[in-house]
Structure 1
Amino acid sequence: MKALCWQGVNRLSVEQVPDPGILNAQDAVVKVRLSTTCGSDLHLLGGYIPAMRAGDVIGHEFIGEIVEVGPEVRRHKVGDRVVVCSFVGCGRCWYCSHDLWSLCDNGNPNPEIARMLLGYEPGGVYGYSHAMGGFRGSHAEYIRVPYVDYGAFSVPDGVDDQSALFASDAAPTGWMGAHLGGVGRGDVVAVWGCGAVGQMAARAAMLLGAERVIAIDRYPERLAMTERHIGAETIDYSSTDVGAELRERTGGRGPDVCVEAVGMEADSLGPQQIYDQVKQQLWLETDRPVAVREAIHACRKGGSVFILGVFAGTVDKFPLGAMMNKGLTVRSAQQHGQRYIPMLLDRMAKGQLATSHLATHSMPLDEAPRGYDLFKNKLDGCVRAVFRP
């Protein structure tokens, strides 16, 4: 079959790879209908995620059709149209039973690699390095789905493929940030980043009752999309002081909840960008935490900060003093998608959550390297590139 393979830093190619098959009794093989890029994939391209090998198939957000099931699969059958959570959860360990799916004890078959890097192993992720399980990714014609009864969800008839695609990762990740960040009725919420996850976090905050939602970015097309499709206020950080602007809009107090949806390659203007860029390139820190710093400084006293962006290792100049002295609650997680996906599909079916606008560029899988170039460099207004195997 055809698949998009990582060949080294900033090098991708479409190659022929072996077809997947059933390895365990709870597996399924899914024929991929659509897959999409994700901002966290850019960390793979940049060489910031360890344990990648030339020829690894990447991609972790997808929708498809089940074409084969293992003998112990009970909830799905051949022919089901399903969206699959990007994290692999067994459904039975302590973490899965407590809705902490991305921390599954059994979802990562290479625990020793992640344990060495992080202290404990998280769950597995499709197409996201051997430290996260070594699973083949979704930018392919077919994919093996372990624990399919827990990780795949049937798509309602009224939800089209392009909309349902974003229930795989972007929508549940964004919803988790707003939900576990503690958004409640009447809150003012600030979201750093107007990519797909940031937009979904902003929409989730609105649906959870926030009085005002303010999204922060610098790309005009993303700011305009967030205003038009999500209905949030926006701030262009390249033209104003974000902290001062947020205080002005909140009567001097600051947002109740701040959601960081940017991650380890955050950009900014001014000396801190140069500082972080140099330290990252010299491996004196692995991640650029600009947006996290800004969120912690901007949040009101006693407020909540949720870190949604993917981070790989260590950061410098973390504002621990501000966090402690302001009495902030700071949380983070990789997405616990199985907790949210059924609810999100139901909201899509009811017209409460729109996602199809995120797919700004659609193309055959053969053109995936070009799609990633558009996505990485934010060319032609690209928010997400979607591939059709």
Structure 2
Amino acid sequence: MKALVWHGKEDIRCDTVSDPEIEDARDAIIKVTSCAICGSDLHLFHNFIPAMEPGDVMGHEMMGEVVEVGSGINGALKKGDRIVVPFTILCGECDQCKRGNFSVCERSNRNKDMADKVFGHATAGLFGYTHLTGGYPGGQAEYLRVPFADKTHIKVPDSLTDEQALFLGDIFPTGWQAAVNCDIQPTDTVAIWGCGPVGQMAIRSAVLLGAKQVLAIDCIPERLSMAEAGGAITINFQTESVVERLNDLTAGKGPEKCIDAVGLESHVSMGQPDTLLDRAKQMVMLESDRPHVLREMIYVCQPGGIISIAGVYGGLVDKIPMGPAMNKSLTFRMGQTHVNRWTDDLVRRIEEGQIDPSFVITHTAKLEDGPDMYKVFRNKQDGCVKVVLKT
């Protein structure tokens, strides 16, 4: 089959690889119909996340048709079912899964010993996302093996198109969880750093959850325009002072809730030299992540507020102002998304017309064009916000 394969830093190729096979009774094989390139894939593209190996198949946003099921599926899936595959692999039986904490499933990370050493305790297995999370082949491919498939799936209603359903596996619930973690009240201002796909979903989620005003921070015109269309007041950090604008829009109090939809590769703000220093530290391996957004959120967040982190961080950050965070009584909530916790509610909202997640798609291409589309997405060329690949 064809698949997008990691060969090293900024080297993604469309290769021919072996077709997946059933390896366990709870496996299923799907024929992928649609997949997408995620912002967190760029962290792998740039080799900022450890434990990638040449030959790893990329991708964790995918959906398709079931073509084979293992003997232990017990009717949960059958051939011909149309499903979205969550990026988090869940067993459905461990203590964490029973609590709905699916992204920290205790059984699905097949490289648990390695992850225990790095994280203290292993997280769940993730598709297409380094050997620290199990080394599972991803879904930017013609076919995909789904472990624990009786639980690791979302059945797609006939009423939804691929484009409406695809993002139920990652960016829609990720943006939604980021907003839910803020415990949004009707009097709240919610500020969101990053207007990429996750940020766009967080904007619309905050609006749906009843925020008084939503402020969106980015510098890409197409992203800012899309954020404005979703109900946000926009701030261009290259032409405006983020701190001054946030103070102006909140009567000097700062936003009650702040969402980081950027993660480890934040860019330089006007007059903010810390990201330049972070880049230098990255180059000499003194730091793995660029946390400018985290620092800025801690500084501007209203005392007693909540900081919600949806952007991916991979390792070590430097110069985090813990003193201000502690003295301002800030609450931090973060983590990979517990995708299936939100499925029923989000499917209902799509079916009722409250939101159509396909709004974020700007580019559709063939799987074999994937290597070029990684560069288009990374460089924000041609107004690119979200890429969907068809097999």
- Identify the match of residue 292 of structure 1 among 280, 291, 294: 294
Q: Which residue is 2:86 aligned to?
A: 85
- Identify the match of residue 302 of structure 1 among 290, 295, 304: 304
Quote how far apart the aligned CAs of 1:187 are. 1.4
Paired AA for residue 171 in structure 2: A
Q: Which residue is 1:162 aligned to?
A: 163
Q: Which residue is 2:129 aligned to?
A: 128
Q: Which residue is 1:65 aligned to?
A: 65
Q: Which residue is 1:112 aligned to?
A: 113
Residues 204-243 of structure 1, C-alpha deviation per residue, up to 9 Å, x if partnerless? 1111111111111000110001112x12111111111111
Maintained 8 Å contact 1:258/1:306? yes
1:383 aligns with 2:370: no
Q: Which residue is 2:332 aligned to?
A: 330
Maintained 8 Å contact 1:156/1:349? no
Runs of 4+ in structure 1 deviating by more than 3 angstroms, as ranges, are none
Q: Which residue is 1:265 aligned to?
A: 265
- The alignment-based identity, stated in percent, is 45
Q: Distance in 2 between matches of 1:259 and 1:27?
A: 36
1:145 aligns with 2:146: yes
Q: Distance in 1 between matches of 2:375 and 2:352?
A: 35
1:46 aligns with 2:79: no
Tell me the SS of whatever aligns to 1:40.
helix
Please give the TM-score of this superposition, normalised by the length of structure 1.
0.98
RMSD between aligned residues: 1.0
Q: Which residue is 2:346 aligned to?
A: 344
Residues matched between the structures, number:
388
Maintained 8 Å contact 1:153/1:342? no
Quote how far apart the aligned CAs of 1:26 are. 1.2
Q: Which residue is 1:194 aligned to?
A: 195
Structure 1 gap ranges (5+): none
Quote how far apart the aligned CAs of 1:72 are. 1.8
Structure 2 gap ranges (5+): none
Tell me the SS of whatever aligns to 2:151.
helix
Maintained 8 Å contact 1:103/1:122? yes
Residues 88-131 of structure 1, C-alpha deviation per residue, up to 9 Å, x if partnerless? 01101111111111000011000122222211111011011111
Tell me the SS of whatever aligns to 2:66.
strand
Q: Which residue is 2:173 aligned to?
A: 172
Tell me the SS of whatever aligns to 2:278.
helix
Q: Distance in 1 between matches of 2:274 and 2:204?
A: 30
Q: Which residue is 2:8 aligned to?
A: 8
Please give the TM-score of this superposition, normalised by the length of structure 2.
0.97
Residues 238-288 of structure 1, C-alpha deviation per residue, up to 9 Å, x if partnerless? 111111211111111111110000010111233112111101111111100
Residues 284-323 of structure 1, C-alpha deviation per residue, up to 9 Å, x if partnerless? 1110001111111111010000111100111011010110
Quote how far apart the aligned CAs of 1:326 are. 0.4
Maintained 8 Å contact 1:247/1:254? yes
Tell me the SS of whatever aligns to 2:342.
helix
Quote how far apart the aligned CAs of 1:184 are. 2.4
Maintained 8 Å contact 1:150/1:338? no
Maintained 8 Å contact 1:125/1:133? yes
1:26 aligns with 2:26: yes
Q: Distance in 1 between matches of 2:41 and 2:18?
A: 22
